[in-house]
């Protein structure tokens, strides 16, 4: 995982969240933004799960070594 890629993803999601509240965003853009948000959420969920898995593995290794 690139440094801060998770955080920049989160920040893009917050932007999308704000954009979706705007009157100026039309139907087509709403759908595109939604599509982008869903893809980004899936990607970030994968990254978070991977990080958690690594964390749990390291924790388990540490316990076994003690």
Site for another protein, rule CB under 8 A = 6, 10, 13-14, 16-17, 20-21, 25, 27, 30, 33-34, 37-38, 41, 44-45, 48, 51-52, 55, 59, 62
Residue 28: CB minimum distance to another protein, A: 10
Residue 31: CB minimum distance to another protein, A: 8
- Give yes or no for a contact between 17 and 34, defined as CB atoms under 8 angstroms apart: no
Radius of gyration for the chain, computed over Cα atoms and rounded to the nearest angstrom: 17
Residue 37: CB minimum distance to another protein, A: 4
Buried b (16+ CB within 10 A) or exposed e, 47-61: eeeeeeeeeeeeeee
């Amino acid at each position: 995982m690139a440094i801060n890629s998770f955080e920049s993803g989160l920040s893009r999601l917050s932007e999308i969240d704000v954009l979706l509240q705007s009157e100026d965003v039309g139907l087509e853009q709403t759908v595109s933004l939604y599509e982008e948000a869903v893809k980004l959420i899936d990607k970030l969920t994968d990254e978070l799960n991977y990080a958690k898995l690594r964390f749990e593995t390291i924790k388990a290794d540490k316990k076994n070594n003690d």
